[in-house]
Structure 1
Amino acid sequence: MFIEKISHYIPEERVPNSYFKDVNGLDDEWIFQRTGIKTRSRAAEHENSNTMAVDAVRSLEKYLDGVDLIVGASYSPYDTVATIAHVVQKEFALKGAKAVFISSACSSLINAVEIVEGYFAMGKASKALVIASEHNWLYSNQTDEKSGHLWGDGATAILLNSNEVPGSPEILNIFTEGLGDVGQGPDAVYLRPAGEGLEMPNGRDVFIHACEYMETGLMKVLDNRNLDKNDLDYIIPHQANDRIIQNLSQRMKFDYNRIFRNIDRLGNTGCASTGICLSENWQEFKKGDLVGITVFGGGYSYGAMLIEF
Structure 2
Amino acid sequence: MYIHHVAAYLPAEIITNEHFTRLNGLSHEWITERTGIRTRRKATPGENTNTMAVEATRRALAGAPAFPAADVDLIVGATYTPHDTIYTVAHAVQRELQVSDIPVVSVSSACSSLLNAVEIVEGYFALGKARRALVVVSEHNTAYNNEHDTVAGHLWGDGAATLLLSPERLAPTDLHVRTVLTGGAGNVGKADASVTLKPVERGIVMPHGKDVFTHACQYMSRVTQQVLERNGLSVADVAYLIPHQANLRITRNVVQQLGLPEERAVSNIEELGNTGCAGAAIALADIWPRLQPSEQVVVTVFGGGYSYGAMLLGR
After TM superposition, the score normalised by the length of structure 1 is 0.98
**1:169-208 alignment to 2 at 5 Å?**
169-208=175-214
- The amino acid of 2:49's aligned partner reads S
Aligned to 2:161, which of 156, 166, 172?
Answer: 156
Aligned to 1:140, which of 135, 142, 145?
Answer: 145
In the alignment, which residue of structure 2 is the partner of 1:71?
A: 76
**1:1-309 alignment to 2 at 5 Å?**
1-59=1-59, 60-61=61-62, 63=67, 64-167=69-172, 168-309=174-315
Between the aligned partners of 1:98 and 1:278, the Cα distance in structure 2 is 25
Between the aligned partners of 2:171 and 2:54, the Cα distance in structure 1 is 26
Alpha-carbon distance, 1:281 to partner: 1.4
Alpha-carbon distance, 1:68 to partner: 0.9
Between the aligned partners of 1:129 and 1:186, the Cα distance in structure 2 is 31
After TM superposition, the score normalised by the length of structure 2 is 0.96
Structure 1: which 4+ aligned runs deviate by more than 6 Å?
none
**8 Å CA contact 2:17, 2:27 repeated in 1:** yes
Q: Identity over the aligned pairs, expressed in percent?
A: 49
Between the aligned partners of 1:80 and 1:229, the Cα distance in structure 2 is 40
**Consecutive unaligned residues in structure 1, runs of 5 or more:** none
Between the aligned partners of 1:34 and 1:261, the Cα distance in structure 2 is 15
**Consecutive unaligned residues in structure 2, runs of 5 or more:** none
CA-based RMSD: 0.9
**8 Å CA contact 2:70, 2:97 repeated in 1:** no
- The amino acid of 2:41's aligned partner reads S
Alpha-carbon distance, 1:229 to partner: 1.3
Between the aligned partners of 2:290 and 2:155, the Cα distance in structure 1 is 27
Say how many residue pairs are matched.
309
Alpha-carbon distance, 1:254 to partner: 0.5
Alpha-carbon distance, 1:227 to partner: 1.6
Between the aligned partners of 1:37 and 1:97, the Cα distance in structure 2 is 40
Alpha-carbon distance, 1:65 to partner: 3.0
Between the aligned partners of 1:213 and 1:21, the Cα distance in structure 2 is 33
Secondary structure class of the residue paired with 2:163: strand
- The amino acid of 1:142's aligned partner reads E
Between the aligned partners of 1:250 and 1:6, the Cα distance in structure 2 is 28
